[in-house]
């Protein structure tokens, strides 16, 4: 009976299949660091989730509030992965607002550490008088 829908699965596998994290080990790290909650409670990576569970995920500056719609053991393309969950309307609006604010208040480029470029070297020589 390989076509039977899953009743429950580990949350780390689901986060990987839903394309929130590139690897299961990254999903496990996020769960261990408290960035993933089910029903407002911190969880362990082996926690089973079922359709209808509410999940809160923090990725960088973004907070996602999701309801699990389906379970999948395979990581598929993005449209298939997006069918596994439904995002809360408030969560979606908040994330869109954060993206717009970031576009309006763009941070200046951060200098890459390491070997200076030819231009950087010339500026250094001008400054030091060499």
Q: What is the CATH classification number for the domain harbouring 90?
A: 3.10.290.10
Q: Where are the beta strands (DSSP E) in the chain?
A: 9-10, 36-38, 41-42, 48-49, 54-59, 62-68, 85-87
Residue 30 lies in a domain: yes
pLDDT, tens only, 11-61:
999 999 999 999 999 999 999 999 999 999 999 999 999 999 999 999 988
Residue 13 lies in a domain: yes
pLDDT, tens only, 73-85:
899 999 999 999 9
Residue 128 lies in a domain: no
**What's the number of domains the chain is made of?**
1
Using the predicted structure, report yes or no on whether residue 101 has a pLDDT greater than 90: no
Single out the residue of 90, 94, 72, 91 nearest to residue 82, CA to CA. 72
What's the mean pLDDT when you consider all of the chain?
89
Q: Domain containing 40: what range?
A: 9-107
Residue 123 lies in a domain: no
pTM reported for the whole predicted model: 0.75
Residue 42 lies in a domain: yes
Residue 73 lies in a domain: yes
Residue 125 lies in a domain: no
């Amino acid at each position: 009976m390989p076509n039977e829908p899953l009743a429950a699965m580990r949350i780390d596998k689901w986060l990987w299949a839903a394309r929130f994290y590139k690897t299961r080990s990254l999903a496990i790290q996020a769960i261990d660091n408290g960035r993933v909650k089910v029903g407002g409670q911190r969880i362990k990576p082996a926690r089973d989730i079922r359709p209808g569970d509410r999940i809160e995920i923090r990725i960088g500056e973004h907070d996602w509030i999701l309801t699990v719609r389906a379970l999948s053991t395979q990581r598929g393309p993005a449209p298939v992965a997006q069918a596994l969950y439904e995002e809360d309307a408030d969560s979606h609006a908040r994330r869109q607002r954060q993206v717009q604010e970031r576009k309006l208040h763009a941070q200046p480029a951060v200098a890459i550490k390491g070997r200076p470029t030819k231009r950087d070297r010339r500026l250094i020589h001008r400054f030091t008088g060499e």
